[in-house]
Structure 1
Amino acid sequence: MFDNTHAHITTWVIAIILFFVAVRLHNAGKAKGMKVVHMILRLFYLLIILTGALLFWKHQGINPALYGIKALVGVWVIGMFEMILVRMNKGKSTKMFWILLVISLIIVFILGFSLPLGI
């Protein structure tokens, strides 16, 4: 099942979509809908971490250092998703977290697609 990255890629693509749906719902003033989407997104955080960990353990012999760094940056992305949504709910500034999210996404995509399991 984890000889390829299909499950992992599917979970993070859905998570990115859910994140932007939650942001849109917040901006539209639909707090209840945003809360539901945020809770579903948290489930996808767990699925991303689980599928990523299974891929890491199965293929760690390829390049464990870079895959470890990619895993840490992936957790950083999840942290930025969560920080942005929570701070938006509290009415606090999220500018710095958006910048960090873009940086972390660029790093994780570059690592993910350049490592042997990537494209």
Structure 2
Amino acid sequence: MASGYALTVRFTLRDDAAAAAFDALVAQTIQGIRGEPGTLVYTVHAPVDEPLVRVFYELYADHDAFLAHEDQEHTRHFLAARGEFVSGVEVAFLNELTDLSKRPGAGQ
């Protein structure tokens, strides 16, 4: 049984000013997100040597919790406002590997 619904989002920001404004938007939004009942992990990273990139890791209790997150006012505000700061967005939805011994090539 999977233990949640996970994704990563990679934002590439336009320039240093956009990065600062984006970070302020995230700071204003993140506490509301972390208080959502079905949000288990919501964290933001800046990759080493990529000052204009932010990577979000999000883990929700299930798909319904993710949909509830997407419907929150603070999330809708963030989604509407982020566009002026970013030059690219990549989203990866993740499947948990619950039994690694059954994957192809395991145990070799």
Say whether the fold is shared (TM-score over 0.5): no
Higher Rg: 2
Task: Give the number of the structure whose residues are more often helix, by fraction.
Answer: 1
TM-score, normalization by structure 2: 0.33
Task: Give the number of the structure whose residues are more often strand, by fraction.
Answer: 2
Higher relative contact order (CA 8 A, sep 6+): 2
TM-score, normalization by structure 1: 0.31
